[in-house]
């Protein structure tokens, strides 16, 4: 019995990789022909992306924590210093003596500098009228007025009790600048009024710590990617080399050389496959030799081959099932085929479920399982469950619920299915634009509206939107599944509750579905709590109006 050995190499001579102009072609060829190269490239790429996202997130979190900790520390130090200084000022009695006031200013400034831990101090008198006894404005340690913005000074002048801060760039001795913060607060001097006091702190040490952490993170990330690459290469080699050997040996066997065999090592699945393959090859070789020598025993030959092939073919089938479970490591065509099969089976199951549900409606054998349920809370749950789908389509969903919180008798499973169907359609056909879910109620009914700002439909299309298997655009694919029966089932669920499901749509303005359910199981009467025609509303009416806008150059008050 002879054996062959094989190695897996990238196409072409490695010396050809010295020509960088041939790299794109060689990489593309290796991507198509080498499972190991493709898997390793995907593993390294996804690992690098994951490490990048994780480390950037960690770096930003550490940066924010360092900055916020330093700001909080500085604020507490300034607060202690100014409170102590203010108590000293409150008991002072300069009796209109300018020298006493000047000395009082110097003593207060020195005490504050020691307690606050900074020499960068500036003070400015707030009152505009001239005074003969008031101490003059001053700066200390290079704290120039140009470092202070007009917004910060206005905030400090306006509020005597509040402490304000903002980020600044502090000049250094080398002509550059270091990051820092400045904190402003008022101090009231006897007989002359309030002064603006500003205390600056440089964050050079925190910036150095942050740089060290970032460098460490990047080095660790690079080492992690390299380590994962080495591990992936070793693991892939242990898997792909036997596969490549089996493929090459099978090709040689198919070419007519029945003497080739697979090397068998160990007791794992590949060893089992190798033994089964070799047994199959032995059987084929023996049977073919027998056929060549004994043409008169053809029937026995066929019988023996069939019997001998049964066991190895069973083993190969088990091995193929195992490879199917690992379809991520197969070539794209085979993996896509497996994915399509799985998706179509799921869609078939969904279609069968919907068809059974439709048949129950047609037969009149559907019954509600009512329980007190808040439609607003139900809508919140559905929106939360579909948030990931909305983000995948780049859609923002907002719930506007002035009413609908009181429990109403309904079948929550069926109503939840209605809301999921309406919201799913809005996400799919909303062109990535905002979606507004409105819940409101009155004395007779509770209603839910799903408004999107997509392309919309014509009046003729809106009349047929609840028809079974109907599409406004037959050429358009369903991107989130669906069977074409969702809206028909939703209409049936609404009518089963004694409610209504209506639609408004205009081309270029979007679509609005309104579900109205009665209180106490009665038929809906009168106008719905949610208007079907939204009028001249606009997405800006619901999105962005209440978003706070921070004033430029202004810190956060404590």
Same domain, 381 and 476: yes
Same domain, 384 and 521: yes
Last residue of a domain, one of 170, 202, 234: 202
- The domain spanning residue 190 has which CATH number? 3.30.450
Task: Yes or no: say if 149 and 166 are a contact pair by the CB < 8 Å rule.
Answer: yes
Residue 87 lies in a domain: no
- Residue 380: pLDDT band by 50, 70, 90 thresholds? very high
- For 183, the enclosing helix (H) or strand (E) is strand 177-189
pLDDT computed for residue 440 by the predictor: 92
Residue 530 lies in a domain: yes
Last residue of a domain, one of 202, 225, 250: 202
263 vs 272: CA distance, rounded Å: 11
- The pLDDT of 327-349, averaged and rounded, is 61
246 vs 262: CA distance, rounded Å: 7
CA-nearest of 282, 244, 242, 243 to 261 is 282
- The pLDDT of 528-533, averaged and rounded, is 87
52 vs 221: CA distance, rounded Å: 8
For 306-336, give one letter per residue: b (16+ CB within 10 A) or e: eebbeebeebbeebeeeeeeeeebbeeeeee
- The domain spanning residue 421 has which CATH number? 3.30.565.10
pLDDT computed for residue 374 by the predictor: 92
231-243 residue pLDDT tens: 877 777 777 777 7
- Residue 556: pLDDT band by 50, 70, 90 thresholds? very low
Same domain, 392 and 538: yes
Q: Is the pLDDT of residue 350 over 70?
A: no
- Residue 446: pLDDT band by 50, 70, 90 thresholds? very high
Same domain, 389 and 354: no
Question: Which is more confidently placed, 433 or 177?
Answer: 433
Same domain, 405 and 389: yes
84-100 residue pLDDT tens: 888 888 888 777 788 88
User: For 30-39, 171-180, 247-256, 544-553, which range has the lowest pLDDT when averaged over its residues?
Assistant: 544-553
Residue 352 lies in a domain: yes
Q: Which residues pair with 138 in a beta bridge?
A: 123
Q: Is the pLDDT of residue 545 over 60?
A: no
Same domain, 343 and 439: no
461-472 residue pLDDT tens: 888 888 776 665
- The pLDDT of 109-129, averaged and rounded, is 84
Residues 6+ apart with CB under 8 A from 551: 151
Residue 40 lies in a domain: no
Same domain, 171 and 188: yes
Same domain, 188 and 335: no
- Residue 383: pLDDT band by 50, 70, 90 thresholds? very high
pLDDT computed for residue 457 by the predictor: 86
- Residue 460: pLDDT band by 50, 70, 90 thresholds? confident
The Cα-based distances of 499 to 34, 225, 400, 410, 524 in angstroms read: 60, 58, 21, 11, 6
Residue 351 lies in a domain: yes
Residue 97 lies in a domain: yes
Same domain, 348 and 468: no
Domain that holds residue 501: 367-542
Q: Is the pLDDT of residue 24 over 80?
A: no
Same domain, 371 and 354: no
- E-assigned strands of 335-425? 371-373, 397-400, 408-410
Residues 6+ apart with CB under 8 A from 334: 327
Q: How many Cβ atoms from other residues are within 10 Å of residue 284's Cβ?
A: 16
Percent of the chain whose predicted confidence (pLDDT) is above 70: 73
Q: Let me know how many helices (H) and strands (E) the chain has, helices first.
A: 14, 12
The Cα-based distances of 98 to 123, 127, 138, 311, 554 in angstroms read: 17, 17, 16, 110, 35
Mean pLDDT (the chain, rounded)? 76
Q: Is the pLDDT of residue 3 over 50?
A: no
Counting the structural domains of the chain, the total is 3
Same domain, 149 and 174: yes
Considering the entire predicted model, what is its pTM?
0.39
């Amino acid at each position: 019995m002879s054996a062959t050995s094989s190695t897996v190499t990238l196409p072409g001579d490695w010396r050809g990789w010295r020509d960088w102009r041939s790299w794109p072609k060689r990489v593309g060829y290796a991507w198509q022909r080498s499972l190991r190269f493709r898997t390793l490239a995907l593993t390294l790429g996804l690992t690098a992306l994951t490490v990048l996202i994780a480390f950037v997130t960690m770096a930003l979190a550490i940066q924010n924590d360092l900055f916020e900790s330093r700001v909080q520390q500085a604020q507490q130090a300034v607060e202690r210093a100014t409170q102590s200084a203010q108590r000293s000022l409150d008991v002072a009695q300069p009796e209109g003596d300018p020298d006493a006031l000047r000395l009082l200013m110097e003593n207060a400034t020195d005490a504050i500098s020691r307690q606050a831990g900074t020499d960068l101090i500036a003070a400015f008198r707030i009152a505009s009228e001239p005074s003969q006894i008031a101490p003059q404005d001053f700066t200390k340690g290079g704290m120039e007025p140009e470092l202070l913005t007009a917004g910060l000074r206005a905030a400090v002048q306006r509020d005597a009790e509040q402490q304000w801060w903002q980020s600044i760039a502090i000049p250094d001795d080398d002509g550059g600048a270091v990051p820092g913060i400045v904190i402003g607060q008022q101090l009231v001097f006897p007989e002359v009024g309030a002064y603006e006091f500003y205390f600056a702190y440089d964050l050079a040490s925190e910036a150095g710590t942050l740089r060290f952490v970032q460098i460490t993170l990047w080095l660790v990330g690079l080492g992690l990617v390299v380590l994962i690459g080495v591990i992936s290469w070793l693991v892939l080699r242990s898997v792909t080399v036997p596969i490549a050997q089996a493929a090459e040996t099978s090709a040689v066997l198919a070419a007519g050389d029945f003497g080739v065999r697979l090397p068998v090592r160990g007791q794992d699945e590949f060893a089992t496959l190798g033994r089964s393959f070799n047994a199959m090859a032995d059987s084929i070789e023996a049977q073919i030799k027998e056929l060549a020598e004994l043409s008169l025993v053809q029937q026995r030959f066929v019988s023996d081959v069939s019997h001998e092939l049964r066991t190895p073919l069973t083993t190969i089938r088990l091995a193929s099932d195992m490879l199917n479970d690992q379809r991520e490591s197969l070539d794209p065509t085979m993996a896509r085929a497996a994915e399509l099969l799985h998706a179509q089976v799921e869609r078939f199951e969904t279609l069968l479920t919907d068809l059974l549900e439709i048949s129950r409606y047609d037969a009149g054998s559907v019954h509600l399982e009512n329980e007190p349920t808040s439609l607003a809370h139900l809508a919140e749950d559905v929106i939360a469950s579909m948030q990931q789908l909305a983000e995948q389509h780049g859609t923002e969903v907002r719930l506007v619920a002035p009413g609908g919180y009181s429990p109403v008798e309904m079948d929550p499973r069926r109503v939840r299915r209605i809301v999921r169907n309406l919201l799913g359609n809005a996400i799919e056909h909303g062109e990535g634009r905002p979606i507004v879910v409105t819940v409101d109620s009155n004395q007779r009914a509770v209603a839910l509206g799903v408004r999107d700002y997509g392309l919309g439909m014509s009046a003729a299309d809106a009349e047929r939107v609840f028809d079974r298997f109907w599409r406004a655009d037959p050429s358009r694919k369903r991107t989130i599944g669906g069977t074409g029966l969702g809206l028909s089932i939703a209409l049936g669920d609404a009518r089963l509750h004694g409610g209504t499901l209506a639609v408004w749509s205009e081309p270029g303005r979007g679509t609005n579905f309104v579900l109205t359910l009665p209180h106490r199981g009665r038929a809906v009467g009168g106008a719905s709590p949610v208007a079907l025609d939204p009028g001249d509303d606009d997405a800006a009416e619901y999105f962005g109006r209440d978003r706070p806008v921070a004033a430029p150059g202004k810190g956060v008050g404590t």
